[in-house]
Copies of this chain bind each other. A is one copy, B any other.
Amino acid sequence: MREVAILGVGMTRFGELWDSSFREIGIQAGLSALVDSKLSSQDLNALYLGNMASGTLLEQEHIAPLLMDYAGLAGHHLPAIRIEAGGASGAVALHQGYLAVASGKYDFVVVGGAEKMTDVPDVAANRILGGTADQEWESVFGATLPGLWALMARRHMHDFGTTREQLASVPVQAHEMASKNPNAHYRNKITLEQVLHAGPVAEPLGVFDCAPLSDGAAAVVLGPAERARKFTDIPVRIAASEMATDTLALQHRSSITRLDATVVAAKRAFAHAGKSPKDVQVAEIHDAYSISALLALEDLGFETKGHAGAAFADGTYGIGGRTTVNPSGGLKAQGQPFGAVGVAQVVELVRQLRGLSEARQVAGATLALSHDVGGTGATSVVHLLERMN
């Protein structure tokens, strides 16, 4: 397999982008990544696009050729492929783009993620989200995504003594980080008290424990690592790209305080790269709910099971901590346009590895990890990104 590098990155602002269409945000992200890579559109060989639910959200399927078309590139007749894996769609698209370049079949590939979620009523959106859990065994009985994650939170509190305050420390840090991120959906800081006293969504999770639904798009340009220096002074290598799956329904798993898909994907990724969690200076992890971030830190191997709550509340994962987690603000505060999330995580990490993250820069970062989850963990994807010196 060829080594694969990231040559360029780009993204839109995340938020309620009511003045922009799906086509516009998709193109904006893709073209900004292309400009950043210094490639021309003539150089491109294929497009991969992560998107969860354009069929239900927009009544439009077949959206990968649609974006090529509206970017003015239909005349190139390039392969353009949509990938769907719930909230992990973007990261799975990146895995496919990685395989496409690694195979030698395609040299230069754009991987995008895009979702336009705020143009439909919240009740419709929540029904659509239920489609990423098990429709026949969960959603049809009224189990929502927040409700399912709340079950995991309750059990984690019961089994390991994780406190409500520890959970609440996750969104507080997320909003603090996002206050320095001009692309973030929410740039306001929040306090522990605000989180604790916010209205309930699915107890113990309140409004501030749940990431928003957002509009947004992100894109990266991939190419063979041996040609990367032609395009950028600080190329970033994909040191590992691994994914794993699990049962769709929570009730069919042996534990609900552990995502086995994350455990397996992380083990494969660290083994492939010959690295361990202590080598990672900066990570973007799945924090759609406060509990998601704590499970992720444990399942990825940063913490032993049950200890993430205390460690997070102690600032271990803040700026200046052992590993900085979600400097973008994460899904919670940068925002959550489902299909775009996994790609946006990588955009943030590449900028960190290049030293371009300004107020939220993690000093001297050379190895970064991204972690994206679909549904309640039926899909999990882990990428390790390394600065090429």
Contact = CB atoms under 8 A, between A and B. Distances in A.
Nearest to A131: B61
A115 to B, nearest CB: 12
A245 interface: yes
Given A79-B95, A103-B103, A62 B1 contact: no
Interface string A34-72: 000000000000000000110110111110111011000
A178 interface: no
Interface stretch (A83-91, A287-295, A298-306, A329-337): A83-91
Interface stretch (A157-165, A167-175, A357-365, A372-380): A372-380
A311 B259 CA distance: 59
A247 B59 contact: no
A141 to B, nearest CB: 13
Given A1-B105, A105-B99, A379-B65, A83 B85 contact: no
A63 to B, nearest CB: 8
Contact of A81 (B85, B102, B130, B246): B85
A110 B234 CA distance: 38
Q: How many copies of this chain are found per oligomer?
A: 2
Contacts of A55: 53, 55-56, 128, 131
A265 to B, nearest CB: 8
| Chain A interface size range | 35 or more
Interface stretch (A9-17, A132-140, A205-213): A132-140
A61 B65 contact: no
Contacts of A356: none
B131 A77 contact: no
Summarize A's interface: helix, strand, loop or mixed. Answer: mixed
A244 interface: yes
A348 interface: no
A264 interface: yes
A143 interface: no
Contact of A60 (B58, B102, B103, B131): B131
Nearest first, the 10 closest Cβ-Cβ pairs linking A and B are: A103-B103, A65-B245, A77-B244, A62-B86, A65-B378, A60-B135, A77-B264, A61-B131, A74-B247, A62-B132
22 contacts: A1-B104, A1-B105, A59-B135, A60-B135, A60-B136, A61-B84, A62-B84, A62-B378, A62-B379, A65-B374, A69-B378, A78-B244, A79-B95, A79-B243, A79-B244, A80-B379, A82-B84, A96-B99, A99-B100, A99-B103, A102-B104, A103-B104
Given A55-B56, A60-B134, A69-B247, 4 more contacts: A53-B55, A69-B246, A84-B84, A102-B103
